[in-house]
A and B are shown apart, each in its own frame.
Chain A
Amino acid sequence: MSRLCRLAFLALFVAFAASPAWAEDLAALVPGLAGDSFADKEKAIIALGKLGDPRAVPILKAMTDDRLRRGPDGRVIVILTTGGTARVTDAVTGNGLKDVSADSLDRILVNNRLRGQIEAALGSLTMFSTDRATRLAAVQDMLKHPSPDAAGPLEKALAAEQDPEIRAAMQRSLAAVHLFAGTKAKQVAAVQMLGTTTDPQIKNLLDEFRNKSDLAPELRKAAEDALHSIDNRLRLTGLAANLFQGVSLGSVLLLAAIGLAITFGVMGVINMAHGEMIMLGAYAAYVVQELFRAFLPAGWFDAYLIVAVPVAFLAAGLLGVVLERCLIRFLYGRALETLLATWGVSLILQQVVRSIFGAPNKEVSNPSWMTGGFDVVGGFTITWNRLYIIVFCFIVLGVLALILNRTNFGLNMRAVTQNRDMARAMGIRTARVDALTFGLGSGIAGMAGVALSQIGNVSPNLGTIYIVDSFLVVVFGGVGNLMGTLVGALSLGIINKFLEPLAGAVLGKIVVLAAIILFIQRRPRGLFALKGRMAEG
């Protein structure tokens, strides 16, 4: 026993020497955690929170997790359980205590009130952490329960903080603290400061503040103004977020529909297997990803997506050409039968993929340059993968427009579309143009699959999710018209996203479907119908 005491003394001394001011306080405060009444414990917790010593963090955490014990000599002991075995350590020094059994110690009880205090104290303590994310989380956490006790540590932390984002968050949290426990001048400043933010949490705080009974009228006025400006800003960011979501959904629809706009719109072939071309593209991305994982160094992994795009294009495009040569060319002029036959193809493709890869979802991970996102304004985040898909979608559309309007193949394609017989008479090999056009449409569907693999899971029935929507986009926009497809996809995406908060996701979608059905009744040839001689066919 005496040896142990000496050891503890030594450890205490060392700690003392290292950081005298803190060590003394920590050592003095920790035994308070083992106090007899909850009030004693609470005092100790608050004091530890104010102290700002990061070593208190594991002790407080242990306290909430019921791993804190009181030794026979009143010493506070932390039990660490690593890998199933419990290790008993002294709370203040962190040294292991070998001859103390965990079972013989008294538990230090906590109640919910204490838990709340511990959380607040942990919040102010972790503000000093060396890890940026932990600091940020701690500061943001303080906004949830701004307690007057946090003011001191916050000011201390703000003085030391370098990171601008965390500084801003700290200033907001500090303002929130001042709001409820500051002088009047500080309160006014805090209200004004908080009025410039867009955080719904701050809105709730201000709302709470406004409804306080003993509030000076000018403060109430200021709070109401601040709330008003927050509301306005929230509405704007909500609008922007909806718009972005809508454009994002629209671009996904557009990617899925561009290929269809070619096969259905330009060639007039109803390809129900179009969705499966998308699915194959997604699986191509998966296969390329796995190959990169297996055979190339980890540093190269981020490049897999760049490789996956052409691979998916070629795989789906080749399949498209084969499909056209072996099946669809026999069915030209029999649109309904083409519909049925390609549906059969889609069933077979789904089952093939299911047999090879299995029915469960496959996960295709984002390369690092596509993960995460950035905050535009508070509460409105743009994720990189969605942004890249929008960009990718417009690149595909642009390249396609170039191919159609500036290349020989595009010229032939348009000629065959407009007047097949005349084109043949002019020496265009229409059969070849048909096959290549179909391959192009399918290849684009394959690239759409790569894009879709970045925002969702890859499964054998991925295509069926998009097929009805893609057809509606093409029909809505007007068949045989890429511009119509663009406008159709974007407007459907945006309408869908704006309806979602009003009616819920499923009902919103039903409303959109019903609206399109009604729209087609009004304009059977879509938004951008071909006019004049083209329309006569």
Chain B
Amino acid sequence: MKTSQLCVLPVPKHKKLIRDLSKNYQLYLLLAPALIYLAIFKYGPLYGLQIAFKKYALSLGIGGSPWVGLQHFRTFFSSPQFSRVLVNTLALSFYELVVSFPLPIVLALMLNQLRSVRYKNYLENVFYIPHFISVVVLVGMLNTFTSVQGGLINNIVALFGGDRINFMGESSMFRNLYVFSGVWKNTGWNAIIFTAALSGIDPTLHEAAKVDGAGKLAQIWHIDIPGIMPTIMIMFVSAVGNVMSIGFEKAFLMQNYMNIGTSEIIATYVYKVGLQRAQYDYATAIGLFNNVVNLILLVTANTFSKKMTKTGLW
């Protein structure tokens, strides 16, 4: 596109297109597998989204099934499940956002203050380890650690004279366990981006601040945090953009009949309705509702971020 400015003779638009395409046809060959993948597995399902507005019959296929308009959405909004799964989803995701978004920033700021580079690297490597543990194993660890008989956490509770609690069976504990096991797993890993941003701050700013008599806390507040603000905002917008796509896997694995009151979120509900009860059309409608709410949140967060700090995802 930029090279076209170098052309001396004006070329008709369609000829220019053909020339550009043929000049770099080998690049399109390299890109082709990715485009085919996108078309089939990312844009293909968008075609299937229409069954959210249809009465899906296997024999008629996606295209041939009759339209029913907004019927599935009406059914969902008026069902007793609606408010429960929506509240659970929003409560869980905003709780997670509020707790687990700032912590990696704090950790990165703290690591940045360490004077021994070797110690800093060592600590970072330790903090990354849990990131590589699978969700299945993480939930397995939660189960064993919170086990009433001999679980590590209950042993600690008992050591201080408390009563053993069946954490996984308490509805009220589900969100705490969900969020804080996530904090344990991901904080170190998520701090990498902020560590990278901090290393890009001009060291002369700190020198100057020192001369002016600023203490460590003042330096963090007036130099480090403003310095990584663009990164913080971008990460914040993508975090908000993923609020509704909160992990199906973990909630599903942690779920049992005792904590279902708080652990049933939209994603797990879609799985049950769609794949266990095979109500494909209804489940697709619920999933679409989820996606649209997500998109609205993302756009709102991005607009907000652009107004406040002039940085955004687009």
A binds B: no
